Chains A and B, each alone.
Chain A
Amino acid sequence: MDAGPGQTALGYDVAHFLGGASLVLSFALLYQARVASLPKLYAMQGILLALAAFWQGQIRHAPELYVTGVITLAAKGIIIPIALHRIVQRLAIQRSIETALGVFPSMVLGIGLVALAILAVTPAAPGAKVLTRENLALALSVVLLGLLMMITRRTALTQVVGFLSMENGLILAAIGVAGMPLVVELSVAILVLVAFVVFGVFFFRIRERFDSLDLRFLEQMDEAEH
């Protein structure tokens, strides 16, 4: 595979900067103690993601990534954060975040997951280009941190934000892979899933504690109810 005219040092640096900044925001989402800040942090991550899509479109001469960028900016930079903000206000969700795990252990776990992501992706050195590989490691880190947030934060809203941020990692992965077809279509398809999740919170007024991934608790609930 050719390096392409845009794959310069600057091209790398900016792409890495945007990916790395998304990862930093994932950490910020993970340690955030106030519910009201979650929509803002998510919006910032969405905007960074849109910029990453524009930048990848620019250095790779892939105009379809601009479409992904515009959709991402509109949906994740503006519409979904506003919806989340309204959910916080309307459903009178408690202000502080209930955690299953303190800030320090979850940060340590988070750093461990990033190390795991790098270790999992790096052996792929000969096959993939450097940019692709490092981008994939960053994207996988964002995905895993989103998953960690879903497991360790116990309100419905924080789980939803964890899911949304995990999905940001998926888009980051998709736009970083050279010449991947159907990127626009797939990113729209996963946006539909995201829209349903946000809509679901609204529609069903889900505000109580909800431990979906905590299997031990699920078993107890089953015992209690059935």
Chain B
Amino acid sequence: MPALVVIVPFAAALLLTAIPSWRAGARINTGASMLCFLFACALPARVGEASRLFLVDAQAAHFALLTAFIAMTTAWFSGAYIQVELAVRRLDRRRLRLYHTLYQAFLGSMLLALLSNNTGITWVALEGAVIASVLIVALPRSAEAVRAAWRFFIIGGVGIALAFFGTIVLYLAALPALGPGMLAMTWSELFSAGRECDRAVLNLAFVFLLIGYGTKAALAPLHGWMPDAHAEGPTPVSAVLAGSALNVALFIILRLRRVIAGNPSAIDPGPPIMALGLISILIAVASLWSRRDVKRFFAYSSIEQSGVAAFAFGLGGPAATFAGLLHLTLHTLTKASVFQCVGRAAQLKGGQKFADIAGLIPASPALGLSLAAGIIALAALPPFGLFTSEFLIASASVRAAPLLAIPLMIGLVTGGWAVMARLQNLCLGVATPNKGPGPKPVALLPIWVQLALVLLLGLAMPAPIADWFARAAG
């Protein structure tokens, strides 16, 4: 079953290279994403399966399901989005073929990274995801897009290179425990072999893997690629789907934490992860205030939320990990909705600066209200679920690291405030003139589905879902 989840998007990517019609391409894209999601739905029943190639643990199943779900709603959203992009000639037919191919290749790489049981294959999958998303960011071919893609490539390339070194060193660390060969590159073996791993080599591997994969998770200090990359590419992939890539990187860091924690004499993985998370939160929150570009603004907010999740994973223990997983899940759903709204709003207003987009509710009530709901959810206000998850993380921090809870809460409150401060102008203010077509309500359906889930998880989390999160948190 994990093989099918990975194969469907890659096969679809191959097929899409051969389909010249963009309409057919969009349909195949949606169909393949739905099929992939259906297969992913079977993953929770397979938890505990480990083969040489694939490892389905509760966390992997959870993130694969979430990624496939976002890919499905986004493919649905993308169909209407690209029609407008085509009409204003930001993309042409030839590039749409590449766009759909890369969409599926990106999805396939992320799922492979999540489900792989081999440290080397995880690395290759993440490298593939970086290359696919760089190509997508560069797709509009404007000077800004090329510059954003290049910056992403150089910083992402450094991250990937450091992660490669870390992967080699991790193998070296596992040699005394597992002997030469494939076993020492197998995640499921590494979890139990941590104790016999070489302590000093394990520490070295941890540092490189944390910085390397931390780059992809947009953690400081190598987060600079992200605002540009999110802002310049076609919204469905460069912003929405790329949000899921943060989860993949954080998931790998979480796995790494488990391996290192297996060896009590090695470095304690918690504090470094917490430190990176906290620094990312504070840098992102400080940057939020001076943004003029809507997409860049929300990209900085993603850096903040990624930092919040990393902080929770660094705290460790079932309660904080539970809160971190919940937070990542809700943030992914919320941010996907927000970016989908912003993408359509930028098309409606013909620009993505705060100066271009104002007074959305009078101009397009359905879109404006959806964005307002998304922003309120993102600011972690009740009744939406992010309130719950941030509350859980803050209280876990008060218990385990009370001094760090102070900067954390300052960051959370200031971040939420910065987001709410934009709500007034974006949604309510004096309407700017419309320069493009607005979305039909049916095109907003995926956004409502996502926000409804966030609301549901905030108001009353059904017991099976709570059990599922607790299981994933270990």
Q: Are B120 and A186 closer than 8 Å at their CB atoms?
A: yes
Q: Is B449 an interface residue (CB 8 A)?
A: no
Q: Is A212 an interface residue (CB 8 A)?
A: yes
Q: Are A120 and B131 closer than 8 Å at their CB atoms?
A: no
Q: Which of A198-226 contact B (CB under 8 A)?
A: 200, 204, 206, 210, 212-213, 215, 218-219, 222-223, 226
Q: Are B292 and A226 closer than 8 Å at their CB atoms?
A: yes
Q: Are B181 and A223 closer than 8 Å at their CB atoms?
A: no
Q: Is B317 an interface residue (CB 8 A)?
A: no
From known contacts A1-B180, A128-B198, infer whether A213 and B153 are also in contact, taking CB-CB under 8 Å. Answer: no
* Distance between A174 CB and nearest chain B CB, rounded to angstroms: 5
Q: Which of A108-145 contact B (CB under 8 A)?
A: 120-121, 123-124, 126-128, 132, 136, 139-140, 143
Interface with A: B169-177, B244-252, B318-326, B370-378, which one?
B169-177
Q: Are B200 and A193 closer than 8 Å at their CB atoms?
A: no
Interface of B is mostly: helix
Q: Are A163 and B173 closer than 8 Å at their CB atoms?
A: no
Question: Which of B161, B168, B292 has a CB less than 8 Å from the CB of A177?
Answer: B168
Q: Are B168 and A180 closer than 8 Å at their CB atoms?
A: yes
Question: Which of A127, A166, A196, A218 has a CB less than 8 Å from the CB of B198?
Answer: A127
* Distance between B352 CB and nearest chain A CB, rounded to angstroms: 10
From known contacts A127-B176, A186-B164, A189-B127, infer whether A213 and B138 are also in contact, taking CB-CB under 8 Å. Answer: no
Expressed in whole angstroms, the Cα–Cα distance for A186 and B157 within the complex equals: 15
Closest to B221 in A: A215
From known contacts A186-B124, A222-B296, infer whether A181 and B182 are also in contact, taking CB-CB under 8 Å. Answer: yes
Q: Are B131 and A179 closer than 8 Å at their CB atoms?
A: no
Question: Which of B123, B151, B171, B201 has a CB less than 8 Å from the CB of A180?
Answer: B171
Q: Is A3 an interface residue (CB 8 A)?
A: no
Q: Is A106 an interface residue (CB 8 A)?
A: no
* Distance between B162 CB and nearest chain A CB, rounded to angstroms: 8
Closest to B292 in A: A226
Q: Are B158 and A163 closer than 8 Å at their CB atoms?
A: yes
Question: Which of B150, B154, B291 has a CB less than 8 Å from the CB of A226?
Answer: B291
Q: Are A197 and B131 closer than 8 Å at their CB atoms?
A: no
Expressed in whole angstroms, the Cα–Cα distance for A206 and B227 within the complex equals: 20
Expressed in whole angstroms, the Cα–Cα distance for A139 and B173 within the complex equals: 16
B167 surroundings in chain A (CB, below 8 A): 186
Interface of A is mostly: helix
Q: Are B123 and A186 closer than 8 Å at their CB atoms?
A: yes
Closest to B207 in A: A120
- Interface size on A (CB < 8 Å)? 50
Q: Which of B202-258 contact A (CB under 8 A)?
A: 204, 221, 224, 227
Q: Is B379 an interface residue (CB 8 A)?
A: no
Expressed in whole angstroms, the Cα–Cα distance for A121 and B185 within the complex equals: 20
Expressed in whole angstroms, the Cα–Cα distance for A202 and B474 within the complex equals: 48
From known contacts A124-B204, A140-B165, infer whether A204 and B146 are also in contact, taking CB-CB under 8 Å. Answer: yes
A143 surroundings in chain B (CB, below 8 A): 161-162, 165
Closest to A211 in B: B151
B158 surroundings in chain A (CB, below 8 A): 147, 150, 163, 166, 213
* Distance between B214 CB and nearest chain A CB, rounded to angstroms: 14
* Distance between B168 CB and nearest chain A CB, rounded to angstroms: 5
* Distance between A187 CB and nearest chain B CB, rounded to angstroms: 10
Q: Which of B31-53 contact A (CB under 8 A)?
A: none
From known contacts A163-B157, A196-B153, A213-B158, infer whether A182 and B165 are also in contact, taking CB-CB under 8 Å. Answer: no
Question: Which of A181, A218, A223 has a CB less than 8 Å from the CB of B290?
Answer: A223
Q: Which of B112-128 contact A (CB under 8 A)?
A: 118, 120, 123-124, 127
Q: Are A182 and B120 closer than 8 Å at their CB atoms?
A: yes
A222 surroundings in chain B (CB, below 8 A): 227, 287, 296
Q: Is B293 an interface residue (CB 8 A)?
A: yes
Q: Is B160 an interface residue (CB 8 A)?
A: yes
Q: Which of A130-187 contact B (CB under 8 A)?
A: 132, 136, 139-140, 143, 147, 150, 156, 159, 163, 166-167, 169-170, 173-174, 177-182, 185-186
Q: Is A10 an interface residue (CB 8 A)?
A: no
**15 A-B residue pairings within 8 Å (CB atoms):** A120-B204, A127-B172, A128-B198, A156-B150, A166-B161, A173-B168, A178-B180, A182-B185, A186-B164, A189-B123, A190-B127, A190-B161, A193-B127, A210-B150, A226-B291
Listed in ascending order, the chain A residues whose CB lies under 8 Å from chain B are: 1, 120-121, 123-124, 126-128, 132, 136, 139-140, 143, 147, 150, 156, 159, 163, 166-167, 169-170, 173-174, 177-182, 185-186, 189-190, 192-193, 196-197, 200, 204, 206, 210, 212-213, 215, 218-219, 222-223, 226
Top 4 closest pairs, chain A to chain B, by CB: A179-B180, A127-B198, A212-B154, A123-B200
